[in-house]
Structure 1
Amino acid sequence: MRQHDTLFIGGEWVAPAGTATIDVVSPHTEEVVGRVPDGTAADMDRAVAAARQAFDHGPWPRMTFAERAEVIGRLAEIYNARQGEMAQLITEEMGSPITFSNLAQAPQPLGMLQYYAELGRSFAQEDERPGLFGPLTVRREPVGVVAAVVPWNVPQFVTMTKVAPALLAGCTIVLKPAPETPLDAYLLAEMAMEAGLPPGVLNIVAAGREAGEHLVSHTGVDKVAFTGSTAAGRRIGAICGEQLKRVSLELGGKSAAIILDDADLAASMGFLSLAALMNNGQACVAQTRILASHNRYDEVVEAVANMVSSHPVGDPTDPATGIGPLVAKRQQDRVEGYIKIGMEEGAKVVVGGLDRPYDRGWYVSPTVFAGVSNDMRVAREEIFGPVLVVIPYTDEADAIRIANDSDYGLAGTVWTADAEHGMDVARQVRTGTYGVNCFMLETGAPFGGYKASGIGRELGPEGLNGYLEYKTIARLG
């Protein structure tokens, strides 16, 4: 068992203020695989004080972008050497299939470090512009102390969408991992120490909701960067709004995959499989609404059912596993609750249902619903598990209408033999990320959502901008 009895604050391993601990439980075996201190409000105060000291008086904000980029580059090299260890750790603590952990959970955070290290080597601190009466200097400065609050589903991916650009900007950070997945953050702390981050630049305190809200509302924090549920995002947004504190929110999704009549179903299902079922369905960008025309509806339902059935369900450490367990018992209960709701709403279970594949572990049966209308709860609410609904449409305009008829606007796809026409569809769907015959998140391009899917953008240069304040200096003479 992996056991930690300290917190990472001020560049050191320090004793927590309290005695409570967090047990990390394997979703596969239901056995405790790790234990860490449960951070308190006093621990958050200490972490914010360390970050505040490092920002107000330390070297990090006063270094050039290129100098910080060199340190981030060293961190990337260390991360690269240990990414296999990181992938295994995430699979162990939250049940992501090891194939997905090796494909995305560890490599994508590494890619973000590499991207921002490269961006920083040539990023300008200042630029000159002409003014009415003389030259203007536009200066970019770090926003300050950042509270990064991250979820359990892709813990390092989401951590790095915040930590990498915040570091490059010159910010200092208090990172609060989710209580379900604190172990990977301890590995990141080890890497940060080895890379030579100055004390207090990165502080890590795992904790629950109460200590997390204390961090978010702390007057020593200049910006909150949050990924998680829309309900929690509303609460955080309200706190930050009251304090006029900078905030970025990456929240939920209920993304639609539009399958046009000219799509090659066999080819589409291969790519849609990952887009819809990645990480056991525990992904905010998952394409969980499959839109099919009345002309090919039965054919699409059959193809989706066969695709879902082809994924072996089992031990997430087995490379042959396609779908593993959900992160916790409460998540298992939640997803099964939605399966029951779908049945009660009149949707037809084509694959899966309420029979569990295993007696032990927090597994649910991957499920496909047919006969779904877009006003059903299973079509409107984020389930966050391997549950897909197939919704019929009459024509392309109707498909776009249904795709847009959602409280969310995070992701989406269109599947067609005519990629240029697919671009026309993409331009009409109100989401932050979209794919034509594919879906992927690009490190160099902005990621975020419309509507209830959040505020702000991460990744790319736009992700760096969210951690900068812009200062205009006018001068005469």
Structure 2
Amino acid sequence: MGVQDHLQNAFYIGGEWVAPSTTRSFELINASTEEVIGSVPEAMEADVDRAVAAARKALESGAWAQATPNERAEIMHRFAASLAKRSDAIARAVSVQNGMPLAVSTGLEGQFGAGLMQYYAELARSQGTDEVRPSQVGKETRVSRDPIGVVAGIVPWNFPVTLALSKIAPAMAAGCTLVMKPSPGTVLDSYIVAEAAAEAGVPAGVVNWVAADREVGAYLVSHPGVDKVAFTGSTAAGRIIARVCGELLRPVTLELGGKSAAIILDDADLNAVMQGLPQVAMLNNGQTCFNCTRILAPQSKYEQVLEAMAGLMGALKVGDALDADTHVGPMASALHRDRVQGYIEKGKSEARLIAGGGKPGTDRGWFVQPTVFADDHNNTTVGREEIFGPVLTVIPYKDDADAVRLANDSIYGLGGSVWGSDPDRASKVARQVQTGTIGINGYIPAVGSPFGGVKASGLGREFGPEALSGYQQYKSTYVMG
């Protein structure tokens, strides 16, 4: 089940497939082959205006505005079922566009979103609306949770479906409506999600999709009809959005960049570490914000870790994203590949290259060899800046306190991991790392727990009840007698 060709010439606004305001379009390219696979319309300000108006109408009148939490939950469960039917098509669309290996996209893009929708449907049902609290000066206080309003959701290209639904699901659970702006490089998947919403009977205007460039995206962020912005992307772009929302006093959630550390303790089973590290440090070809791209290794085992890392990187299969055996696919665009290769060239002058550093032997596709640098003391460009590719640095440390110091010596604080055989010791180290999330002997975000960062890694949280709260505004009604 894929995207119907005639729908790719339209936007999904107000529950209908509508013609764009201009003939401008985005060309979509297969990251593994560099072949053109289609085009989709590019939204202008007039298209955004129409989408925001549709979202506002759905928020203030009609079936969605009057829906109870139970009724919203039923709609969301139907949406989840429609998404699940399209899981294979979603996974393939993402892998073709951004190079995510099919083995990864099948679970994290094709299936994860339906689970998100189900989780928030049940959360909406169980939470209800009003809560009665005792009052010290009157009879009682009724605390209501109202939808925050029209949400502008801005989604990047690396996990386009999961990151879209991580905004759509809690926002719908809260009773909000949304205008979603996908990245120009990954738009086909949003058409499939929109088809699922239409099939599920999601009321008109609840979720609207308009693909646009940065300039029109900025127009959406500052639009007077928007009540909240939910953004996932680079820290640089997040700072700009934060400034705009600060001036407007507009609530904003920012899930931004990272340069997380994987701390290998001296009692860790190195074989187990190497088995788990690819998912923790190289997920989606390194194009994941929470990847642990700084590997902190004890000085006493530093050379052993380097040898194991070199062997691990050399064993990873680089190839077409749609090949089920591929471990590392291409970068999402030619521009991004060039950016990653630029970092690698810079790293060669700063640190010791122990694996990769070049281009795989392929004629086409935006591929980069999995690359590892050693002798980095956390003060190099490749050791401090987010590269967003299959590039790791291995940094030696003296003791646990030194490992924590190095892990915290970063402007970011999004993910992280600690590897060791003593759970208590690993937990003690993990508690000292300044980050929003961290794993012990592995790492993967959980739907029911808050995900987000500290420092330059963002504001607010996604997943868990905490995300739902971010799409609600609280109102206290004081009953005096």
Instruction: Identify whether the pair has TM-score above 0.5, normalized to the shorter chain.
Output: yes
Determine the structure 1 residue equivalent to 2:370: 366
Using the alignment, how far apart are the partners of 1:200 and 1:396 within structure 2?
53
| Offset from partner CA, 1:405-463 (integer Å, 9 cap, x none) | 10000000000001122111111101111100010110000000000000000100001
Determine the structure 1 residue equivalent to 2:192: 187
| Offset from partner CA, 1:255-310 (integer Å, 9 cap, x none) | 00000000000011111111111100000011100000110000011111111111
**Which shows bigger deviation, 79-88 or 289-298?**
79-88
Q: Of residues 420, 424, 431 in structure 2, which corresponds to 1:420?
A: 424
> What is the TM-score when the length of structure 2 is the normalising length?
0.98
Determine the structure 2 residue equivalent to 1:349: 353
Using the alignment, how far apart are the partners of 1:145 and 1:90 within structure 2?
27
- Counterparts of residues 289-438 of structure 1 (less than 5 Å): 289-345=294-350, 347-438=351-442
- Counterparts of residues 51-450 of structure 1 (less than 5 Å): 51-134=55-138, 135-345=140-350, 347-450=351-454
Using the alignment, how far apart are the partners of 1:293 and 1:369 within structure 2?
16
Determine the structure 1 residue equivalent to 2:19: 15
Quick check: 1:34–1:183 contact (8 Å CA) kept in 2? no
Q: Give how far 1:209 is off.
A: 0.5
Using the alignment, how far apart are the partners of 2:73 and 2:134 within structure 1?
29
Q: Give how far 1:103 is off.
A: 2.5
- The alignment covers a number of residue pairs equal to 476
- One-letter identity of the residue aligned with 1:413: S
Using the alignment, how far apart are the partners of 2:302 and 2:114 within structure 1?
41
Determine the structure 2 residue equivalent to 1:25: 29
Paired residue secondary structure (1:51): helix
**Which shows bigger deviation, 40-49 or 101-110?**
101-110
Quick check: 1:61–1:142 contact (8 Å CA) kept in 2? no
Q: Give how far 1:357 is off.
A: 3.2
**Which shows bigger deviation, 282-291 or 421-430?**
421-430
Quick check: 1:51–1:203 contact (8 Å CA) kept in 2? yes
Using the alignment, how far apart are the partners of 1:109 and 1:98 within structure 2?
16
Q: Give how far 1:382 is off.
A: 0.3
Using the alignment, how far apart are the partners of 1:341 and 1:157 within structure 2?
33
Paired residue secondary structure (1:372): coil
Paired residue secondary structure (1:295): helix
Paired residue secondary structure (2:343): helix
| Offset from partner CA, 1:32-66 (integer Å, 9 cap, x none) | 11210011111101100111111122331331212
Using the alignment, how far apart are the partners of 2:430 and 2:70 within structure 1?
37
Paired residue secondary structure (1:28): coil
| Offset from partner CA, 1:106-134 (integer Å, 9 cap, x none) | 22212111111121221120111111222
Paired residue secondary structure (2:293): strand
Paired residue secondary structure (2:127): coil
Paired residue secondary structure (1:365): coil
Using the alignment, how far apart are the partners of 2:376 and 2:337 within structure 1?
22
Quick check: 1:357–1:365 contact (8 Å CA) kept in 2? no
- Counterparts of residues 33-44 of structure 1 (less than 5 Å): 33-44=37-48
Using the alignment, how far apart are the partners of 2:438 and 2:299 within structure 1?
24
- One-letter identity of the residue aligned with 2:196: M
Quick check: 2:359–2:367 contact (8 Å CA) kept in 1? no
Percent of aligned pairs with the same amino acid: 52
Paired residue secondary structure (1:474): strand
Paired residue secondary structure (1:287): coil
